[in-house]
Structure 1
Amino acid sequence: MAERSTPSVPAATAEERRVASENFERARQVVQTGNYDYAISLLTMCCRIEPGNFLYRQALRRAQKEKYGNNLRGSRFAFLSVPRFKARVKAAKATRDYRKVLEHGEAVLARNPWDAGTQMDMAEAFDALGLTDLAVFTLDQARQKYPKDPTLNRALARLFEKRGDFQKAIVLWQIVKEAAPHDVEAAHKAKDLAASETIARGKYQETADGSQESPVIGKMEASGTVKQDKLTRDAGPLLKRIEADPTEASLYVQLAGVYRRHNQDDRARAVLQQGMGPTGNHFSLQLELQELEVAPFRKSLEATEAQLKKLKERIAAGDEPTGDEPGEDDLRAARTRLIREISNREIEILRMKADRFPNDVGHRLELGIRLLKADRPEDAIPELQAAKRDEKHKGRAAMYLGACFRKRNNWRLAQRNFEEALAVLPATDQAGRKEVLYQLATGSAENGELARALDLGHDLANLDFAYKNIGNLLDDWQTKLQKA
C-alpha cells in the first residue's frame, strides 16, 4: 500500500505575494487609525494567500485581540455566529482539508480570538501542513486565557518535544501533571524528556569540542549554538526564497523582521539595503529602513525612563544620587530630547507614506494628528483639511482641525469644525463624540457663552458624567450664570 503524501502549502505566485505585501502594508496603517474591521479583512486575505507566513498571522491575531480590547471573550454576540463556522472547521478537518480548517478557523477567531477549541484545531492543521512554528504560536495564543488547561498544555508540550525544545516541553508537562495529578503520561514525560534534553545537550557539547559538526549550522561558532539554531531555522526558508526570487520585496522585509526579533538590527539593516538594488528601491524597504533608524531612539527612551523611575524611587527612599550620576533634571531633559527626535522621525515616515500614496487620505489624517500632537498645528491644518474632503474621514479630520484652531486661539474656526465633527461622527464613535462635546462646552465657556456651555456640558454628562471634570465644570458654569 502506497504511503499517503504529507499535505503541503502550495507556494504563492510572485503576483500573489505582491498583493499580499501591499495588503499587509495597508493593514498596518489602518490599525493605527483604529479601523480594526478593515485591517482584519486585509490581514485575513494575506493569510489566505500565504497561509504559512508567520508575520501575517501574528499581525492578524494582534488586530483581532485589540479590536475587543483584549477582553478575553471577543464579541458579545459570538455565541450566535460562531457555531456555524466551528462546524465548518470540524467538517474540513474530517476531510483533511487543512487550508479550509485555517480559513474557517479565522472566521471564528475574528469573532472570538480566544476560542481554545478552534485554535487547537488550527494548530493541528498547521502541524499537518508542516508549519510547526505556527502551530506552536496558535496554541500559545490560546494559553493567554487558559494557561492551566491540561489538554491545551499537553498538545503544546508535544509540539515542543517534536521541535526538540525539551526544556519548554518539560515545563508544560509539569503544568499538566499539577492539573491532573493522576495522569500517567504526564508523570513519566518530565523524567523522559529530561533525559532527552541531557542527550541533546551532550551532542551540542560534541559540536563545541569539534568532534561533531552541527547538522544545522555547520562550522559556525559553538558558543550560542542553540540561539543560532533557532535563528537559522527562522531565517533559512526566507533566504532560500530570496535566492529563488531576489526581486520580491516582501521577503526582505520578513527576513529583516526575523533578525530584529533576534535583536540583530545590523543584520536586518544589511538585508534591507541588500534588497534595494534587486527590487528597484522598493518603497516597503525604504519604509522599513526608516523604521529601523527609529528603533535605537525608542530603546534609549525606554532606558532613560527606567533610569528616571529608579532615581525617583531612590530619592523617595532617602538615597540621594552622587555627583557622578545624572540628576533628575538631566534625565528629564534627555527624555524630552528623545521624545522630540522620535516624534520628528515618525512624522517623516508618515509623510513618506502620504506622499507615496496621495489617494489614500488616511495617511493625511494620521500625519495631521501626529503633527498636532507634536504641537505643530500650522503644519497639521493643511493635512487635516485634505483629509476632511474625504467623507469617510470627515468627522475625525474636523475634530482635530477644531483642536488645531483652538490651539491657535481662533475660536470661530475651532467651533465651526467641532460642530461639523459632531454632525458627522457616527454614533458608534462614542469617544470622539464625547471629546468634541467637551471641547465645544469648554470653548464656549471660555468665550463667554455660558448658556451654550451648559447645554453642551449637559449633553456630555448625559453620556458620561465622569468624563474628565465635566461635573465640576457644570457646577462652576451654573454658578457664574446665576451671578451674571
Structure 2
Amino acid sequence: MAEASVNNNAGAANGNGNGDELSKAVAFFNRAQEVAQTDNFDYAIDLFVEGLQRSPDAVEEGHKPMRYNALIRQGKGGKKPSMMDKMKHSRGKTALENMINAEYLLAKDPDNLLYAEQLLNSALLGGYKKTALWISDLIFEACRTSDKPSISTLLLLKDAYASLEQYAKAINACGYALKLKPDDGVLAGEFKNLSANLTMQKGKYDQKGDFRDSILDREEQAKLQSQQAQVKSVDVRQQAVNDSKKAYEANKTIHTLFKLADNLGELQTDAADNEAINLLEKEFQHSHDFSFKKRAGEVKLRSIRRHIRQQKEEVESGKASETTKEALNENIKELLHTELEHYRLCVENYPTDLRMKYEYGLRLMRNQKYDEAIPYFQAARKDPKHKIMAMNKIGLCFFVKGWFNDAIDTLKEAVEMYEIKDNDIAKDLRYNLARAYEQSGNAENALELYRKLAQIDFSYKDVRARVDRLRK
C-alpha cells in the first residue's frame, strides 16, 4: 500500500491556481461539456485533462464533471483504455502528471479502483487536498457498497483522511477495516488514536467561540451538534435537487436528467428514489435509450441495499422485531431477483461489455444457476481486470456441481497466474483450491495449501480447524 501523506510545499498548485489560470481551465471544461453532449466523450476527456493541467484542484469545475461524463460514456459502451493509452499514461515526472494520467485512465475505466488509488496518492503527494478528499470519498463509497471490500484500500483511505485532518472520515474507514480484521490489535490502536485526534480537533473549535461553549451537558451538546449537522446536510442536498430540477426543466438532456437522478438519490428516501426511477423510466419509454433503463435499475438496487443495510444494523443491535427480520429476508430475496434481471438486461443491451457478463454470471451464481453462470464467467476471462476472479468463480461452480477435478484444474491455473500471494484474492483462490483437493480425496495437497494459508493468515475462515483435522 502506498503511503498516504500530504505535501504541504505545493505552493500555488495547492489551490485552483490564480484567477487567470482558472479562467483558462474553465474554458476547457465548458468546451468539454459541450463536446460530451454530442457523445464525443474521448475528445471531452482530453479537454477536461487540458483544463485540469491548468487548475489541478478544480473539483467542482473539472474533476466532478469529468467523472460524471465518464460514467455516461461507460453506460453507452465506451471502450476501456487501450494498451497504448496505458503505456502513454503509466508514469509521469511530477505528482501532477501522475495524477492527471491516473484520472485519464479512470475516466476510460470508471470502476477501476487501482486508477482511483493512484490518483489519490498522486493528489496527496502534490498537495492537491480538494482533489484528494474528493477521490477519497469516491473510493470509500465504492468500498462501502462492495461485496468484498479491500482491506488495503480501506487502510489507504484511513491514512489519506488522517493526513487531510478529516478524522471523522478516517475513523469510518478504520472502522470498516476493523470489521474485516476484528482481531487486529494495531488497527484497534489506530482507531483509538484517530478518535483522540478527532476529540482534540473538536476541542480546538470549541476554544474559538463555538456555540457549544454555552452548553454544559455533554450528552445534550453532542445531540444538538448532530442534529445541526443533519439539518444542514439535508438542506444542502435538497437545494441540490431543486437546482438540478431547474436545470433539467430548462434543458432536458441525458446529462441534466442523470444529474437530477443522482441528487435525488443523495436524499436517501423512498419518495426521492421513486421519483428518480419514474423520470428515468419515462425517458426510456420515450427514447428507447437503454442507458436510462440501466440508471433506473441502479437507483432501484441502491434503494433495496439501503433498506437491507438499515435492517441489518437493527438486527445486529438485538433490538429488531420479528417483522423487521422478516422484512430483511424479503428484501434480500428481492435484491437477488432484481439484480439478476438488471444484469440480464445489461448483457442483452451491451453484448460486448465483459464486465456486465461477469456481473451477470455472479448474479446467476448467487441464484444457484451454476450451469448458466459458467459461460458468462468464461467470456469474462477475456477481460484482464476480471480474469482471475472469473476463473475463481468458474472453479467454485465446478466445485458445487461436484466436478472436483475440473475445479482443481481451473483454480490451480488461477493460483499460478495470480502474482500476488497474500491479499484477499490470493487467499480465496488457495482456500477454494484446497477445498477442491480435499473433496476429491487428495488430503495431502489440501493440507499443504491449508498450512500455507495458516502461515499467512491464521484466522482465515476455518483453515485452523481443517489443518488440525487433516493432521489427525
State the partner residue of 1:268.
276
Contact 1:398 1:417 in 2 (8 A): yes
- CA offset at residue 366 of structure 1? 2.1
Structure 1: distance between partners of 2:380 and 2:298: 24
Contact 1:441 1:452 in 2 (8 A): yes
Gaps in structure 2 of 5+ consecutive residues: 1-18, 71-90, 100-115, 134-159, 169-199, 213-230
State the partner residue of 2:204.
178
> Please, what TM-score do these two structures have when normalized by structure 2?
0.55
State the partner residue of 1:357.
350
AA in 2 matched with 1:16: A
- Indicate how the Cα distance of structure 1 residues 433 and 19 shifts in structure 2: closer, same or farther if over 3 A, else same: farther
State the partner residue of 2:8.
none
Contact 2:336 2:366 in 1 (8 A): no
Which residue, 143, 158, 165 being the options, matches 1:146? 165
Which residue, 1, 23, 40 being the options, matches 1:7? 23
State the partner residue of 1:444.
437
Which residue, 469, 472, 477 being the options, matches 2:465? 472
Structure 2: distance between partners of 1:265 and 1:55: 22
Contact 1:350 1:367 in 2 (8 A): yes
Q: CA offsets per residue over residues 423-451 of structure 1, 9 Å max, x none?
A: 22232673222222222223222332122
State the partner residue of 1:255.
260
User: How big is the alpha-carbon RMSD for the aligned residues of Structure 1 and Structure 2?
Assistant: 4.9
State the partner residue of 1:323.
none
- CA offset at residue 389 of structure 1? 4.5
1:424-435 equivalent positions in 2, closer than 5 A: 424-427=417-420, 430-435=423-428
Q: CA offsets per residue over residues 306-346 of structure 1, 9 Å max, x none?
A: 55445x448xxxxxxxxxxx63xx65444222211111111
Q: CA offsets per residue over residues 114-163 of structure 1, 9 Å max, x none?
A: 6795226999xxxxxxxxxxxxxxxxx968851589xxxxxxxxxxxxxx
AA in 1 matched with 2:204: E
Contact 1:272 1:288 in 2 (8 A): yes
AA in 2 matched with 1:350: Y
State the partner residue of 1:201.
none
State the partner residue of 1:293.
300
1:32-431 equivalent positions in 2, closer than 5 A: 51-52=61-62, 54=64, 84-85=94-95, 110-111=120-121, 117-119=127-129, 145-147=164-166, 178=204, 181=207, 186-187=208-209, 231-232=238-239, 234-236=241-243, 239-240=246-247, 243-244=250-251, 246=252, 248-262=253-267, 263=269, 264-276=272-284, 280-309=287-316, 312-313=318-319, 327=322, 331-390=324-383, 393-427=386-420, 430-431=423-424
AA in 1 matched with 2:423: Q
- Indicate how the Cα distance of structure 1 residues 406 and 18 shifts in structure 2: closer, same or farther if over 3 A, else same: farther
Q: CA offsets per residue over residues 357-404 of structure 1, 9 Å max, x none?
A: 222212212221232233332221121122235555432222111101
Structure 2: distance between partners of 1:227 and 1:390: 41
- Indicate how the Cα distance of structure 1 residues 334 and 147 shifts in structure 2: closer, same or farther if over 3 A, else same: closer
Structure 1: distance between partners of 2:354 and 2:58: 27
> Please, what TM-score do these two structures have when normalized by structure 1?
0.54
Q: SS in structure 1 opposite 2:461? A: coil
- CA offset at residue 178 of structure 1? 2.8
Contact 1:402 1:414 in 2 (8 A): yes
The structure whose Rg is larger is 1
Q: SS in structure 2 opposite 1:359? A: coil
State the partner residue of 1:196.
none
AA in 1 matched with 2:295: E
- Indicate how the Cα distance of structure 1 residues 225 and 373 shifts in structure 2: closer, same or farther if over 3 A, else same: closer
Structure 2: distance between partners of 1:122 and 1:253: 24
AA in 2 matched with 1:358: P
